[in-house]
Structure 1
Amino acid sequence: MHRALALYSGGLDSLLSIIIVKQQGIDVIALKFLTGFTSPLKESDLKYSCQFGFEIKEIDIKEKFIEVLKNPEYGYGKNLNPCIDCKILMLREAKERLSEYNASFVITGEVLSQRPMSQKREFLTLIENKATLKGLILRPLSAKLLNPTKPEQEGVINREMLYDICGRTRKPQLDLAKKFGIEKPPQPAGGCLLTDPGFCKKVKDLMEHNELTVKNIELLKTGRHFRISEKCKAIAGRDEKENQVLLSNYHGTFIYPCDFKGPVVFLAGECSDKDIDMAASICVYYSKRKTLEVIIKTGSQEKRKTYDAITHDRIVKYRL
């Protein structure tokens, strides 16, 4: 039996592409690449893998992706999304695993002209060449509009069973989902946090302060973030769950109300006494009180001090 590797995002297009190829008797292993900015496997992904008979492998490329993010050869999209460089990285990673999984080609869910930057015809060709996978990337949803791949030329894939979808419309994919028995089609895989302007502002701050690490990127997903000095950030939990995430996963200085009715504020980086005072005032502000006694805890040492709330204007100034 022939085998293919599929780039699997969790969106409808990548799922449909896997099903289309499996219908031709090809074994498929789906590769879910973890960049730090996309979601890990969900329960629905596992449900689809069982329903349609394919295996999913999660592959951590966070460190490699950070290097791409810092200086993408082909630039960014509308925000900080280096879509072309990201696709090249994932395809190179897939190519490295072809022999490991005894696979002979790669599947993607790309649709011609669906995305203005990375899915134009010239960029599909560029990506294929840069990934050194010429003729080995099958895009089942748009294959009839593209040059035949080696699997098609060699008779491994029947080109007549592929599709000619083009553009941004979702109707052909939704029709296919219905045909294949997908009751609740997943959304398009647009879940990259680098397309979110608010999140990108926080990422840019890390880049400007030379703090772009896997650990710091993960921290961006929790709480409200404030750049209170060149070497220090304050992160305030927005609810009890986020307070626990900060307390359980990070080490350093924490500030929280003595009565525990309010946010936990974590100080990331090197903090001065002035930074602690600022973070404590932020804690008071989000506790919705004008004045409050807080606990300042570093390791096993604790002290208590009363602070006034920061003003709204200063919150706006410091918040990322």
Structure 2
Amino acid sequence: MHRALALYSGGLDSLLSILIVKEQGIDVVALKFFTGFTAPLNENDLNYAKKFGFKIEEIDIREKFIEVLKNPEYGYGKNLNPCIDCKILMLKEAKERLSKYNASFIITGEVLNQRPMSQKREVLKLIENKSTLNGLILRPLSAKLLIPTKPEAEGIVNRELLYDIWGRTRKPQLNLAKKYGIEKPPQPAGGCLLTEPSFCRKVKDLIEYDELTVQNIELLKIGRHFRVSEHCKVIVGRDEKENEFLLNNHYGTFIYPKDFKGPVVLLTGNCSEKNIDMAASICAYYSKRKTLEVVIKTATQEEIKIYSAITEEEILKYRL
């Protein structure tokens, strides 16, 4: 039996591409790449794999993706999304696993002209060349609009059973979803946090201060963020769940109300007295009190002090 590796995003297009190829008697192993900015492998993914009979594996590429994000060869999209460089990285990682799985080609859910930056005909060819996978990337949803691949030329894949979908329409994919018995089609997997302007401001801050690490990226996903000095950030929990996460999963200097009626504040970087004072004033502001008795807890000591809340005008100067 022939086998293919699939770049699987969790969206409908990549799922359909797997099913189209499987329908031709080809075994498929789905690879879901975790960049730190996309959804990790989840229960829905596992349920689809079980229902439709394909293997699935999560590949953590966060460290490698950080280097791509800092300086993408082909630039960013509308926000901070290096879509072309990201796809090249994933394809290179998939190529390295072809022999591991005894697979002979790679499939993706790309649709010609669906996305303005990364799915134009010339860009698809560029991505194929840069990943050194010439002729080995099959895009089942748009294959009839593209040059035949090696698996098609060799008779492994029947080109007549592939599709000629292009553009941003979703009707053909939804019709295919009905054909394959996908009752609740997943949304297009465009959920990359690097397409969200407010999130990108926080990422740019980390890049500017050379603090872009896996741990710091995870911290961006919770709380309110403030840059209070060149080497110090303040993160404020927004609810009880985030407060517990900050306290239980990170090391640093913590500030929180003595009566626990308010947020947990985490300082990262240089915890000077001036920065601690600023963080405590921010804690008082979000506790909705003019003055607040707070606990200041470090790895070696704990003390209690009273602080006045920062003004709304001042807080906007530091908010990311």
What is the rounded CA distance, in whole Å, between the counterparts of 2:314 and 2:195 in structure 1?
27
Secondary structure at 1:101 match in 2: coil
Secondary structure of the structure 1 residue equivalent to 2:38: coil
* Deviation readout 1:30-49 (Å, 9 max, x if unpaired): 00111111111111111100
Per-residue deviation, 1:301: 1.2
Aligned letter for 1:62? R
Q: What is the one-letter code of the residue matched to 2:149? A: T
Partner of 1:104 in structure 2?
A: 104
Q: Match for residue 78 of structure 2?
A: 78
Aligned equivalent of 2:55:
55
CA offsets per residue over residues 221-269 of structure 1, 9 Å max, x none? 1110000000100000000110111111111100000010110000011
- Pairing 1:176-191 to 2, within 5 Å after superposition: 176-191=176-191
Counterpart in the other structure of 1:248: 248
Question: How far apart, in 2, do the equivalents of 1:151 and 1:252 lie?
Answer: 54
- DSSP 3-state at the match of 2:246: helix
> What residue in structure 1 maps to residue 93 of structure 2?
93
C-alpha offsets along residues 129-156 of structure 1, whole Å, 9 cap, x if unaligned? Answer: 0000000000000000000000000000
Shift of 1:270: 1.0
Question: Equivalences for 1:299-314 in 2 at 5 Å?
Answer: 299-314=299-314
Which residue of 2 is the match for residue 116 of structure 1? Answer: 116
2:315 maps to 1:315: yes
Match of 2:233 in 1: 233
Structure 1 unpaired stretches of 5+: none
Matched residue, 1:22: 22
Query: Could you tell me which residue of structure 1 aligns to residue 261 of structure 2?
Result: 261
1:286 correspondence with 2:286:
yes
Q: Give the distance between the partners of 1:221 and 1:165, measured in 2 at CA.
A: 35
* Alignment partners' CA distance in 1, 2:236 and 2:222: 8
Task: State the secondary structure of the residue aligned to 1:115.
Answer: coil
1:310 Cα shift?
0.7
Q: Could you report, residue by residue, the CA deviation over 1:24-72 in whole angstroms, capped at 9, with x for unpaired residues?
A: 0000000011111111111111110011100111111111100100110
The alignment partner of 1:233 has SS state of strand
Shift in Å, 1:280: 0.4
One-letter identity of the residue aligned with 1:28: V
CA distance in 1, matches of 2:177, 2:310: 52
Q: In the TM superposition, what is the alpha-carbon distance from 1:220 to its structure 2 partner?
A: 0.6
Q: How does 1:62-211 map to 2 (within 5 A)?
A: 62-211=62-211
Does the residue aligned with 2:243 lie in a helix, a strand or coil?
helix
* Cα RMSD after superposing both structures: 0.6
Listed as ranges, the gaps of 5+ residues in structure 2 are: none
What one-letter code is carried by the residue in structure 1 that aligns with 2:116? P
Alpha-carbon distance between aligned partners in 2 of 1:47 and 1:315, rounded to the nearest angstrom: 45
Amino acid at match of 1:111: V
Specify the SS of the correspondent of 2:111.
coil
1:167 partner SS: coil
Distance in 1, matches of 2:271 and 2:145, equals 57
What's the offset of the Cα at 1:300? Answer: 4.2
- Greater alpha carbon shift after TM alignment, 212-221 vs 112-121: 212-221
Instruction: State the secondary structure of the residue aligned to 1:278.
Output: helix
Paired residue type of 1:151: P
